[in-house]
Structure formats: C-alpha cells, structure tokens
Amino acid sequence: MRRVQYLLDEHVDRRLRQILQRMAPTLTVRCIGDPDAPPLSASDPDILIWCERYDFLLVTNNRRSMPSHLEVHLARGHHAPGIFIMNVHHALITTANELILIWETCTVDEFEDCIWFLPISGRW
C-alpha cells in the first residue's frame, strides 16, 4: 500500500504546510524549493517527473496549464501519482481538512494519472 504524501507547488500558500503538519504531524509534505524537492522555478514537466519518481501527489493552484502538462506527461509513457488543484476561493483550512481526509482514508493508487479539484467532497 502506497501512502499519500504531498508536494505543494511553489505558488501554494506555505501556511498550508504549517496547517497540515499541525493537524497530522506524521504526514509527509514537501514544498517546491525544499532541499529534498524540485527547486524553485522548476518547470511543470520536471515537477511531474519528480512526483512520479518519488511518489508524491502534487497540490497546485495551476488550473490553466497543469492539465495539458499532465496530458503530455502521460502521452510520453509516464505516470503521475495524481494532481490536486485547489480552489483558491476556499480557506486554507478547508483545503487542509480535505487533504487530511484523503491522507487518512486513501492510497496513492486511487488518484494515479488523474487531476482532482479540491474540495472533492464539496462544491466549487
């Protein structure tokens, strides 16, 4: 069973990681720019390769170009653990609660090669 772990895109508010770590201290959360994550300004294709290699679900607010990057990534024979696109109009705590629920109840396999819009359990 592959446990859910998250990579936060560089434009995601860093307070989300703080909230997640406070709510679930054993949850693995990395941010673009961390020493053990892709560097700041990494291209979206490079981020998808990193997520595939290290088995991280990407959390982003990039609704515009990420779907096309994923399509190209998959067409090249790659896979992605999954992508969650945040609703920027929702409070960070709403997103955090959703990500914690996913972490507690799901495996990475359930999201493979797909994009999901957060919150999954609510309305946009």
Domain range for 31 is 6-117
Terminal CA-to-CA distance of the chain, rounded, Å?
Answer: 31
Decide if 1 is inside a domain.
no
pLDDT band at 124; cut points 50, 70, 90:
very low
The candidate with the shortest Cα–Cα distance to 87, out of 28, 32, 13, is 13
Q: Is the pLDDT of residue 1 over 70?
A: no
Neighbours of 40 (CB within 10 A): 10
User: CA geometry: angle at 114 spanning 113 and 119, to 5°?
Assistant: 145
CATH number of the domain residue 62 falls in: 3.40.50
Decide if 106 is inside a domain.
yes
Instruction: Give the C-alpha separation, 24 to 41, whole Å.
Output: 28
Question: pLDDT digit string (tens) for 50-92?
Answer: 999 999 999 999 888 999 999 999 999 999 999 999 998 889 9
Decide if 123 is inside a domain.
no
Decide if 122 is inside a domain.
no
pTM over 0.85: yes
Contact 113, 79 (CB under 8 A): yes
The total number of structural domains in the chain stands at 1
- Report, as an integer, the average pLDDT of 23-45: 97
Ranges of beta strands (E only) in 18-110 are 29-31, 57-60, 83-85
Decide if 124 is inside a domain.
no
